[in-house]
Amino acid sequence: MISRVLVANRGEIALRVIRACRELGLQTVAVYSQADAKAGYLRFADETICIGSAASAGSYLSIPNILAAAEIADVDAIHPGYGFLSENAHFADICQASNITFVGPSPDSIRTLGDKAAARSAAQAAGVPVVPGSKGAVHEEADALRVAHEIGYPVLVKASAGGGGRGMRVAHNDMSLRAGLQAASIEAAAAFGDGTVYLEKYLDRPRHVEVQLLGDKHGNVVHFFERDCSIQRRHQKMLEESPCPSLPLEVRKKMHRVAVKLLKSINYNSAGTVEFLVDRDNRFYFIEVNARIQVEHPVSEMVTGMDLVKEQLRVAAGEKLGYEQSAIKLRGVAIEVRVNAEDPEHDFRPSAGEVTSWNTPGGPGVRVDSHVYAGYYVPPYYDSMIAKLIVHAEDRKAAIARLARALDEFTVGGIRTTIPFHRRVLAHAGFAAGHYDTGFVEDFLAGSAV
Ligand code: ADP
């Protein structure tokens, strides 16, 4: 049983978790850094505790500070949200040792899946197709060259501990591979404290399609269909939708089946996502598992009518799913856009500062997840996402019209946001037709997206 939850995160996801807890009748403890003392999510928690400095290393990433807060507030569970400590196996271990339920998968699952090279091996063992590449990590330059010659250039050097699009380098020949190995390893060592890398074939303009899943502690795993997240800039997602507009039903069904099989094979018991890349012939390849709730989870909530965060809390408390796969139905289309405090007119440079006015859209089928209010100061220290706008409608055409309408209603004063960029993407004929891949945004920004 869980009765009191510390939310070890900030911003919209902290509020999202608090909302789920309140609906379940659980008490909440919110934490904040010195830069977040006035953040909107703090108003809705039963208790709030300052956990340190503006820099996240001294607050949201500090295990001692968070555990001290958990002890003072006497909680029996910690929800890590996404980012920060959400996929830190050591943190999950310590929670377990302190008799605090970590609302996420077991430390072992996090360990296996957090190491992308190990996750690839687990996928292969479960019979899931992976992007051609090295068997595990590559430690020697000579091994990397051999693998590259086997699979053929171009190849992608990826960090085993990677995330957020960091620690990746494309190589087109031996020379750029040598340089890429070094650069990716140094970047990964600096960002993740682990410079281990592996190789994958660099696919030509793939689509990114991922399956949302949920497992319990009794061996049950179900899926909540897929999301297309191909609208990306520099390997970072900007817009997500469900269902995938460009894949035939049989391919999508097969993807769901193998994703369930993979998570069952490793006894996965929380919310998680299996990510795939899809080539032009609609063949799909596993890339990684995200062992946490993701930013884009509301898309799947809107098309299935389920509350994934409440479900995640329920299974963390040891409850059974209590329903079969057949009970989860996909209805209509949902699209999410990430509203970032960035200036799309100037290469998406960060735009921190005071939000002087804030008018969010409403009406049928519109959901806004945000911790921002008029007068809020967007601090420069954290991720630039300040809101998620999600719409749901009976079909894709109606969803696009609804999203365009909602974006027109969404006005933000004082800072620049990605709202105008999203308006332009929605108006693009290629997007409207559902014909897009991970190269779309780059072409679009260069003026050549078709
Ligand atoms: P991260 O965990 O850093 O987000 P991912 O492995 O999820 O990294 O990849 C992020 C994005 O990078 C993918 O959605 C895709 O656009 C691109 N990508 C990753 N692997 C490949 C590949 N082998 N070929 C082409 N693009 C890739």
DSSP string, 46-102: SEEEEEE-SSGGGTTT-HHHHHHHHHHHT-SEEE--SSTTTT-HHHHHHHHHTT-EE
| Whether 23 and 54 share a structural domain | yes
What are 80's two structure tokens?
């890590």
Which residue do the tokens 């019209």 mark?
Answer: 401
| Whether 195 and 261 share a structural domain | no
Distance 154 CA to ligand 1 centre (A): 14
Burial class (CB in 10 A: 0-12, 13-18, 19+), 264: middle
d(CA 70, CA 64): 10
CA-only gyration radius of the chain, Å: 21
| Whether 157 and 99 share a structural domain | no
Asked whether residue 114 is assigned to any structural domain, the reply reads no
d(CA 13, CA 296): 11
CA-closest residue to ligand 1 atom 15: 235
The model scores a pTM over 0.95: yes
Distance 231 CA to ligand 1 centre (A): 12
| Whether 290 and 314 share a structural domain | yes
Count helices and strands (H / E) in the chain. Answer: 14, 22
| Whether 362 and 319 share a structural domain | yes
Distance 235 CA to ligand 1 centre (A): 6
Residues with CB under 6 A from ligand 1: 131, 156, 162-165, 200-203, 206, 208, 232, 235, 275, 277, 287-288, 438
CB 109 within 8 A of CB 314: no
d(CA 402, CA 287): 32
pLDDT tens by residue, the chain, 450 residues? 899 999 999 999 999 999 999 999 999 999 999 999 999 999 999 999 999 999 999 999 999 999 999 999 999 999 999 999 999 999 999 999 999 999 999 999 999 999 999 999 999 999 999 999 998 899 999 999 999 999 999 999 999 988 878 889 999 999 999 999 999 999 999 988 899 999 999 999 999 999 999 999 999 999 999 999 999 999 999 999 999 999 999 999 999 999 999 999 999 999 999 999 999 999 999 999 999 999 999 999 999 999 999 999 999 999 999 999 999 999 999 999 999 999 999 999 999 999 999 999 999 999 999 999 999 999 999 999 999 999 999 999 999 999 999 999 999 999 999 999 999 999 999 999 999 999 999 999 998 766
Asked whether residue 109 is assigned to any structural domain, the reply reads no
Q: Tell which residue, 136, 131, 147, 143, has the closest CA to residue 204.
A: 131
Distance 378 CA to ligand 1 centre (A): 29
Q: Which atom of ligand 1 is nearest to the CA of 205?
A: 25
What are 221's two structure tokens?
């795993």
Q: Which atom of ligand 1 is nearest to the CA of 438?
A: 16
CA-closest residue to ligand 1 atom 11: 235
Distance 201 CA to ligand 1 centre (A): 11
Mutation to probe ligand 1, out of 120, 208, 235 (largest number of atoms < 8 A from CB): 235
Mutation to probe ligand 1, out of 201, 277, 284, 290 (largest number of atoms < 8 A from CB): 277
130 DSSP 8-state letter: B
**Residue 114 Cα to chain centre, angstroms:** 14
For strands 27-33 and 4-7, give the pairing.
parallel
Mutation to probe ligand 1, out of 113, 130, 168 (largest number of atoms < 8 A from CB): 168
Asked whether residue 115 is assigned to any structural domain, the reply reads no
Question: How many domains is the chain built from?
Answer: 3
| Whether 166 and 229 share a structural domain | no
Tell me which residues are annotated as active site. Answer: 292
CB neighbour list of residue 284: distance below 8 Å, 6 or more residues apart: 129, 209, 251, 254, 255, 276, 277, 278
| Whether 336 and 219 share a structural domain | yes
d(CA 276, CA 279): 10
Can you give the residue range of the structural domain that contains 87?
Answer: 4-103
The beta-carbon contacts of 47-52 under 8 Å, at least 24 apart in sequence, are 47/73, 49/73
With vertex at residue 357, the alpha carbon angle to CA 355 and CA 358, rounded to the nearest 5 degrees, is: 90
| Whether 194 and 83 share a structural domain | no
CA-closest residue to ligand 1 atom 12: 235
Distance 75 CA to ligand 1 centre (A): 37
Helix H or strand E segment including 425: helix 419-426
| Whether 283 and 242 share a structural domain | yes
